[in-house]
């Protein structure tokens, strides 16, 4: 079982009991309080009648999906950790007998699914140097695919495969290397344009080692295509983040969508969204896979990425070629000058994709940039339905504050999202109409999931807020069902 519901990260459920006609009858079936406060961003996984969640500081709990009774719980880590954006864990991976989790302290751990006891633990990174693991692992065959985050601390980002049996390293792909770091042009990019060839040659020598701490962390769960045995991942921002003076050039392979061979880690192709990024526009939302058509109506296999720059990028996942870019779903970066008072975009929020409609549902946040006047505004959020066959926004709704958390869509024509102000919402996937609104008491900055128990549809979502965003703090998992 995986973070995105399926290997394609579509976050689409075939369940259809909850519809626009009855969503108003939703009620909380139960609430589980974890006892752990912090950035609560987990995406629950439901398997065999159990809900498995991780919490801030990497506690893990197994919960009876029918009753909400906690069957076992692993305590949170203690201490202080070098992380940029709160002690978050975005989830676990589940096999027939294991629960796998990457920890803030750089340790990859496998727990016994029935008891929570540690089966094995492997130190794979040094948190003192800024490395951490916050993404939900991806299980491919008998390997655990895991990325290392920490791009704000001058790390060298990577994606690795570890043996499911004992955590032994099988392969590692690095996001930066001396051969590609500066990019192919003889004229290196600067923060405001390009240097001439003479100055570029000098800068290549002066900053020859900048790739060693160049960033490119991978901190959200990749997608996987079993037909081609290909992993699709997004790489994080270069370092230093907002100042490119000490890292001239393209800074490859930061801010990229890339395809890797799942057996070897060898790169098949890459597409860089923001060369020499100085605006933190890394593709943080998990890539998702789908089928669509090009401008001539010809079908092709696609990978999508909702970026922080406010656009959904649609690439041919066999070649890495950009096929289309959507209309901008937020205003902040629609201008080439990046002069807006807002920033945010899709952030790490996972997209849900309804394959029947061809709609990608994108939640986004727009926060006022520090020190910039924004005509009295304090930021806002949007949820948009993007038609992937055209790139056009079919419908969009605006919220009073940024939406950071993600969505899940179902065959019942309902999409579920959360708000930082504490609301859990149900929307009509076809029209965007708001169907249901429930106050959970803490920020819903986590993606909901839909699951079936005893023949009935349920929706689970974490309500605990986000330290970086300053949303309401809590420690609860809510599960909703129709009134019966």
pLDDT (0 to 100) of residue 484: 85
pLDDT of residue 379: 79
Residue 34 Cα distances to 1, 450, 474, angstroms: 22, 20, 9
Percent of the chain with pLDDT over 90: 90
Q: For the segment 125-153, what is each residue's pLDDT rounded down to a tens digit?
A: 999 999 999 999 999 999 999 999 999 99
Q: How far apart are the first and last CA of the chain?
A: 29
Residue 246 pLDDT grade (very low, low, confident, very high; cuts 50, 70, 90) = very high
The answer to whether 265 and 161 have CB atoms below 8 angstroms apart is yes
Q: What is the pLDDT of residue 344?
A: 80
**Considering the chain, what is the average pLDDT of its residues?**
94
pLDDT class of 371 with cuts at 50, 70, 90: low
Q: How confident is the model at residue 370 (pLDDT cuts 50, 70, 90)?
A: low
Instruction: Report the share of the chain in percent with pLDDT over 70.
Output: 95
Supply the pLDDT for residue 367.
Answer: 74
Once rounded to an integer, what is the mean pLDDT over residues 30-35? 98
Burial class (CB in 10 A: 0-12, 13-18, 19+), 357: middle
pLDDT band at residue 282 using 50, 70 and 90 as cut-offs? very high
Whether 342 has a pLDDT exceeding 80, the answer reads no
Residue 337 confidence (pLDDT): 39
Q: In this structure, are residues 261 and 298 in contact, taking their beta carbons and an 8 Å threshold?
A: no
Segment 181-224, tens digit of pLDDT: 999 999 999 999 999 999 999 999 999 999 999 999 999 999 99
Residue 340: predicted pLDDT: 47
Distance (Å, whole) CA 371 – CA 362: 28
Q: Hey, how many other C-beta atoms are within 10 angstroms of the C-beta on 166?
A: 10
pLDDT value at 332 more than 90: no
For 12-332+406-482, CATH gives 2.140.10.10
Q: What was the pLDDT predicted at 334?
A: 43
What pLDDT band is residue 335 in, cutting at 50, 70 and 90?
very low
Q: Write a three-state SS string for the chain.
A: CCCCCCCCCCCEECCCCCCCCCHHHEEEEEEEECCCCCCCCCCCEEECCEEEEECHHHCEEEEECCCCCEEEEECCCCCCCCCCCCCCCCCCEECCCEEEEECCCCEEEEEECCCCCEEEEEECCCHHHCCECCCCCEEECCEEEEEEECHHHCCECEEEEEECCCCCEEEEEECCCCCCCCCCCCCCECCCCECCHHHHHHHHHHCCCHHHHCECCCCCCCEEECCCCEEEEECCCECCCCCCCCCCCCCCCCCEEEEEECCCCCEEEEEECCCCCCCCCCCCCCCEEEEEECCCCCEEEEEEEECCCCCEEEEECCCCCEEEECCCCCCCCCCCCCCCCEEEECCCCCCEEECCCCEEEEEEEEEECCCCCCCCCCCEEEEEEEECCCCCEEEEEEECCCCCCCEEEECCCEEEEECCCCEEEEEECCCCCEEEEEECCCCCCCCCEEEEECCEEEEEEEECCCCCCCCCCCCEEEEEEECC
In this predicted model, which residue has the larger pLDDT, 342 or 101? 101
Per-residue confidence at 357, pLDDT binned at 50, 70, 90?
very high
* Residue of 394, 390, 436 lying closest to 412 (CA atoms): 436
Contact (CB, 8 A) for 310 and 364: yes
pLDDT, position 377 = 59
Mean of the pLDDT values across residues 232-240?
Answer: 97
The domain spans of the chain are 12-332+406-482
**Burial class of 445 by CB neighbour count within 10 A (0 to 12, 13 to 18, 19+):** buried
pTM summary value:
0.96
Mean pLDDT, residues 354-364: 98
Long-range contacts of 57-61 (CB under 8 A, 24+ apart): 57/87, 57/89, 57/104, 58/87, 58/89, 58/101, 58/103, 58/104, 59/34, 60/92, 60/99, 60/101, 60/111, 60/116, 61/32, 61/34
Encode pLDDT of 405-457 as tens digits.
Answer: 999 999 999 999 999 999 999 999 999 999 999 999 999 999 999 999 999 99
Please tell me the predicted confidence (pLDDT) of residue 376.
Answer: 56
């Amino acid at each position: 079982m995986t973070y995105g519901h399926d290997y394609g990260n579509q976050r689409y459920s075939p369940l259809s009991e909850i519809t626009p006609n009855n969503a108003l009858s939703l009620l909380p079936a139960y609430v589980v309080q974890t006892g752990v406060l912090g950035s609560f961003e987990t995406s629950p996984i439901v398997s065999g009648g159990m809900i498995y969640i991780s919490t801030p500081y990497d506690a893990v709990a197994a919960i009876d999906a029918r009753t909400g009774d906690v069957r076992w719980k692993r305590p949170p880590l203690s201490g202080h950790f070098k992380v940029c954006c709160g002690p978050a864990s975005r989830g676990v991976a589940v096999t027939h007998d294991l629960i796998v989790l990457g920890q803030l302290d750089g340790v990859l751990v496998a727990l016994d699914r029935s008891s929570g006891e540690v089966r094995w633990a492997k130190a794979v990174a040094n948190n003192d140097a800024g490395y951490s693991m916050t993404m939900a692992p991806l299980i491919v065959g008998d390997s655990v695919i895991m990325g290392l985050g920490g791009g704000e601390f001058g790390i060298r980002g990577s994606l690795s495969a570890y043996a499911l049996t004992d955590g032994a390293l099988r392969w590692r792909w690095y996001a930066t290397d001396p051969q590609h770091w500066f990019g192919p042009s003889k004229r290196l990019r600067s923060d405001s344009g390009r240097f001439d060839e003479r100055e570029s040659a000098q800068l290549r020598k002066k900053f020859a080692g900048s790739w060693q701490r160049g960033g490119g962390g991978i901190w959200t769960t990749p997608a996987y295509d079993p037909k081609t045995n290909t992993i699709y991942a997004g790489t994080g921002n270069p370092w230093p983040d907002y100042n490119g003076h000490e890292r001239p050039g393209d800074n490859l392979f930061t801010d990229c969508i890339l395809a890797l061979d799942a057996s070897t880690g060898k790169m098949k192709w890459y597409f860089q969204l923001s060369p020499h990024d100085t605006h933190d526009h890394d593709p943080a939302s998990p890539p998702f896979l789908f089928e669509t058509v090009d401008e001539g109506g010809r079908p092709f296999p696609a990978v999508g990425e909702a970026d922080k720059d406010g656009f959904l990028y649609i690439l041919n996942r066999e070649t890495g070629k950009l096929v289309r870019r959507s209309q901008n779903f937020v205003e902040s970066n629609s201008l080439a000058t990046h002069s807006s008072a807002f920033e945010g975009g899709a952030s790490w929020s996972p997209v849900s994709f309804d394959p029947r409609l061809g709609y990608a549902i994108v939640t986004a946040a727009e926060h006022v940039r520090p020190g910039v006047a924004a005509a009295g505004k304090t930021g806002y959020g949007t949820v948009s339905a993007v038609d992937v066959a055209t790139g056009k926004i079919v419908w969009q709704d605006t919220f009073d504050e940024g939406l950071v958390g993600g969505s899940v869509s179902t065959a019942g024509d309902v999409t579920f999202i959360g708000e930082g102000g504490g609301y859990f919402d149900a929307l009509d996937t076809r029209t965007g109409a708001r169907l249901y609104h429930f106050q959970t008491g803490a920020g819903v900055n986590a993606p909901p999931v839909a699951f079936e128990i005893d023949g009935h549809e349920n929706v689970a979502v974490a309500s605990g807020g986000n330290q970086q965003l300053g949303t309401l703090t809590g420690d609860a998992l809510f599960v909703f069902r129709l009134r019966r």
